[in-house]
Amino acid sequence: MEDFEPIVIAFCCHYCAYTAADLAGTMRLQYPSNVRIIRLPCTGKVDVRHLLEAFEKGADGVYVAGCMEGDCHFLKGNFRAKKRVALAKRVLEDAGIGGARLEMYNMSAAMGPRFAEVAREMTEKIRQLGPSPIKRAKGMAHSAERKENDRAPQGAKV
Amino acid sequence: MIIAEGKPIQEVLAMIAPYDKIIVAGCKGCVTVCSAGGEKEVGILSSALRLARQVQGRSLEIKEVTLERQCDVEYLEAMREYADSFQAIVSLACGAGIQFVAEKFRKHPVLPGVNTQFIGVAEEQGVWTERCQSCGNCVLDRTGGICPVARCSKSLFNGPCGGSKGGKCEIDSQVECGWQLIYDRMKELGQLDKLEEPMPIKDWSTSRDGGPRKRVREDLKI
Amino acid sequence: MKSGSRLEKLLTGGHFVVTGELGPPKGADVAVVEKKANLLKENVDSINVTDNQTAIVRMSSIAVSALLIRMGLEPNMQMVCRDRNRIAMQSDIFGAYALGIRNILCLSGDHQKFGNHPTAKNVFDLDSIQLIQAVKKMRDEHKVLGGDEIEGAPQMFIGAAANPFADPFEYRVIRLAKKAAAGVDFIQTQCIYDMEKFERFMKMARDRGLHEKVHILAGVTPLKSVGMARYMKEKVAGMEVPDEIIDRMRKAGKEKAREEGLNICVEQIQRLRQVEGVHGIHLMAIEWEDAVHGIVERAGLLPRPEAN
């Protein structure tokens, strides 16, 4: 599908990943507008149900981005998230969606470039995997809405 | 509590194959405590089933509900209003609850969403182990509070057998030898001499072997 | 005299006995039984017949025991608690006695997980000590467990196993005492490599006077290779093999391994004969039955005595 633009949902913790995203913006780094950010106080707040719901609502890929292991602002939240992501990957595999469409990443608040890199990496990966199987089954062609994202630099290409 | 574990999603999918409008019913009792069939697990299973069905190009409507308990009739009545308008009920309660739902909601099939495993305890968060086999004739006073039926792989009453090594059972190095535990505890209690008397032959008729069991308290019957 | 079996007569007469072991075939092939039995006869006083050992389905112990009787040999029929309830066990004991079997060993049985039918249900209606009690009740009180009178009581010579090397070590002698109290007549131990530990066990047993209550036969198994020695040390439940034995087998190299294994075996037997309270050996030459004659001869145990 030539015009497939993945919808990627990123659950980001306020203290690290979301701040890194902010930094990426101020540094004028390019990252795809395919990535829709959801801010959480901590990735430890992520529930397996949220991850699955994202796919039910049409996400082609999802990732959870938290603090570096050992540096979680709430001590162990990112470890809990890691295990829940692992569980959700298995559920997605069993459901026929594919566990590869969900990932966990870690970064510090200072890692603006890393945030952008992850966003690019994940978007590209999902692009290769194609639209979520629930859309393929419906024979739906899908293109992401190209909304202006105030974090993406002016005139940025995706 | 009763410990259960969710059935593989593929198995549940196969069970609900003929249906496209189902109830997934959890229970706030034991299965919530052991994270097998509570509200969260109802949500996860329902999402997984809907996604899997969509991948197959079919629809699936699920009513998600978590009852107080499924082993008391009064709580089951909460489903009475809408149950018949669905085609099947997948229950995540323990085997007793699932069967009770099947008894009280006769119009449609009631399907098990979990495998009920054992009566046990939470050793730590996320880890549950077996303690009781409900043999109907408790001898815990004679074995330092450790059950030879449930915790010995061979249910020996005069163990341990020759396969006990390093405090572990011959069947699995992760499984503790029940009789090592009993020995240690009796030693701790200063009651080792009690173990020198052979334990009498078990009357298994109070157990599952005697047939389905029933208990009545006449003073409570209305 | 309880059963009048050859084994009982020899033990009662103060002889140092030798028992052997025969593992039944995984099928109905009688020729296998005959072949193994022929290698053992006249080298041992009576022959253990295992009961679905390691939970692998084999010809039944009672059937093989009956075949041995037909061949003029004396079986020690093993019965495990894993596969039969008390009804079947008592019934089989009646049948065994009717077929001429006189020696019975009461064992727990390896868990079915080890065998070729791991999905089977296990029984364990009785445990080995309760089975001993049951056989004694049948023999001495002429009653079955439920209390009914027996029409023709089986006069069995009752045996059991003891494992001096399983844990907890201190409890092993207490368990032996329990078996003695339950009515056992003779005990065969798991095969011994750690002589020192076994001698400690025997001291504890003698301190309780158990050597006078039961006849203790020490288990012996010849090693074929260093691999076998290591396997027994690491993989077999309730087995202890000292490093010095493993070293000897390793140093012997591939060509001389069997020879060294036999040397060790004969040395063990000679040492065991000196231990007070040991009334015989139980020689388990697993899948090496043709070694039995040589071992018994070198240990000075031939010819086997007459039983009066």
pLDDT at C207 over 90: yes
Q: In terms of domains, do B176 and B151 share one?
A: yes
**Residues A100-148 pLDDT 10s:** 999 999 999 999 999 999 999 999 999 999 999 999 876 644 444 344 4
Hey, are the CB atoms on B47 and A47 less than 8 Å from each other?
Answer: no
For an interface test with B, which of A56, A132, A142 has the most B Cβ atoms less than 10 Å from its Cβ? A56
Determine the Cα–Cα distance for residues B47 and B42; give it in Å rounded to an integer.
9
Cα torsion C288, C59, B204, C114: sign: positive
ipTM confidence: 0.91
* Residue of chain B minimizing CA distance to A139: B57
What is the DSSP code (8-state) at residue B200?
P
Task: With beta carbons less than 8 A apart as the criterion, state whether C33 and C67 touch.
Answer: yes
Hey, are the CB atoms on B51 and A97 less than 8 Å from each other?
Answer: yes
pLDDT at A33 over 70: yes
Residue B148, min C-alpha distance to chain C (Å): 11
Terminal-to-terminal C-alpha distance of chain A = 17
- The domain that holds B20 is classified in CATH as 3.40.50.2300
Give the full edge-to-edge strand order of the sheet including A61-66: A35-40, A8-13, A61-66, A102-106
Give me the pLDDT at residue A151, please.
46
Residue C81, chain B, CB below 8 Å: the answer is yes
Task: Tell me whether residue B186 is in a domain.
Answer: yes
Q: In terms of domains, do B113 and B137 share one?
A: no
Under the banding of pLDDT at 50, 70 and 90, the label for residue B176 is very high
Point out the domain boundary residue: B93, B118, B143.
B118
**Residues C9-24 pLDDT 10s:** 999 999 999 999 999 9
Residue B162, chain C, CB below 8 Å: the answer is yes
Question: Whole-model pTM?
Answer: 0.90
What integer is the mean pLDDT of B130-143? 96
Q: In terms of domains, do B174 and B106 share one?
A: no
pLDDT at C169 over 90: no
**Residues C25-73 pLDDT 10s:** 999 999 999 999 999 999 999 999 999 999 999 999 999 999 999 999 9
Measure CB to CB from residue B165 to each of C113, C171, C237 and give the nearest one.
C237
Mean residue pLDDT across chain B: 96
Those residues whose C-beta lies under 8 Å from the C-beta of residue B186, and which sit 6 or more positions away, are B143, B144, B192, B194, B195
Angle between helices A48-56 and A77-95 (to 10 degrees): 40
Task: Tell me whether residue B176 is in a domain.
Answer: yes
For an interface test with B, which of C171, C188, C204 has the most B Cβ atoms less than 10 Å from its Cβ? C171
Task: With beta carbons less than 8 A apart as the criterion, state whether C304 and C42 touch.
Answer: yes
Q: Which domain holds residue B164?
A: 133-208
Under the banding of pLDDT at 50, 70 and 90, the label for residue A155 is very low
pLDDT at B208 over 80: yes
Residue C123, chain B, CB below 8 Å: the answer is no
Under the banding of pLDDT at 50, 70 and 90, the label for residue C168 is confident
Assigned token pair, B18: 């003929």
Domain boundaries, chain C: 6-298
Residue B1, min C-alpha distance to chain C (Å): 24
**Residues B6-58 pLDDT 10s:** 999 999 999 999 999 999 999 999 999 999 999 999 999 999 999 999 999 99
What integer is the mean pLDDT of B81-96? 97
What integer is the mean pLDDT of C152-181? 91
Determine the Cα–Cα distance for residues A157 and C184; give it in Å rounded to an integer.
89
Determine the Cα–Cα distance for residues C119 and B145; give it in Å rounded to an integer.
30
Give me the pLDDT at residue A139, please.
65
Nearest to C102 by CA among C139, C71, C149, C151: C139
Q: In terms of domains, do B141 and B64 share one?
A: no
Measure CB to CB from residue A91 to each of B44, B54, B55 and give the nearest one.
B44
Q: In terms of domains, do B6 and B114 share one?
A: yes
What integer is the mean pLDDT of B164-182? 93
Q: In terms of domains, do B43 and B137 share one?
A: no
- By CB atoms closer than 10 A (0-12, 13-18, 19+), residue A69 is exposed
Q: In terms of domains, do B80 and B176 share one?
A: no
Task: With beta carbons less than 8 A apart as the criterion, state whether C269 and C19 touch.
Answer: no
Distances in Å between the Cα of A155 and the Cα atoms of A36, B8, C62, C230 are 18, 48, 90, 72
Q: In terms of domains, do B61 and B12 share one?
A: yes
Point out the domain boundary residue: B95, B118, B141.
B118
Mean residue pLDDT across chain A: 89
Residue C112, chain B, CB below 8 Å: the answer is no
Number of other residues whose CB lies within 10 A of the CB of residue A141: 12
Task: Tell me whether residue B128 is in a domain.
Answer: no
Angle between helices C128-136 and C169-182 (to 10 degrees): 20
**How many B/C residue pairs have CB atoms within 8 Å?**
95
Under the banding of pLDDT at 50, 70 and 90, the label for residue C170 is confident
Report the domain count for chain B.
Answer: 2
Q: In terms of domains, do B22 and B113 share one?
A: yes
Percent of chain B clearing pLDDT 90 (strictly above): 95
Task: Tell me whether residue B215 is in a domain.
Answer: no
pLDDT at A150 over 60: no
Measure CB to CB from residue A96 to each of B40, B43, B55 and give the nearest one.
B55
What is the DSSP code (8-state) at residue C140?
I
Determine the Cα–Cα distance for residues C250 and C235; give it in Å rounded to an integer.
18
- The DSSP string of A127-147 is HHH-S-HHHHHHT--------
* Residue of chain B minimizing CA distance to A84: B44
Under the banding of pLDDT at 50, 70 and 90, the label for residue C275 is very high
Measure CB to CB from residue A134 to each of B44, B49, B55 and give the nearest one.
B55
DSSP H/E element including B64: strand B61-67
Point out the domain boundary residue: B118, B153, B169.
B118
Give me the pLDDT at residue B166, please.
86
Percent of chain C clearing pLDDT 70 (strictly above): 100
Q: In terms of domains, do B77 and B8 share one?
A: yes
Q: Which residues of A touch B54 (CB under 8 A)?
A: 133-134, 137-138
CATH of domain C6-298: 3.20.20.220
Task: Tell me whether residue B220 is in a domain.
Answer: no
Give me the pLDDT at residue A2, please.
64
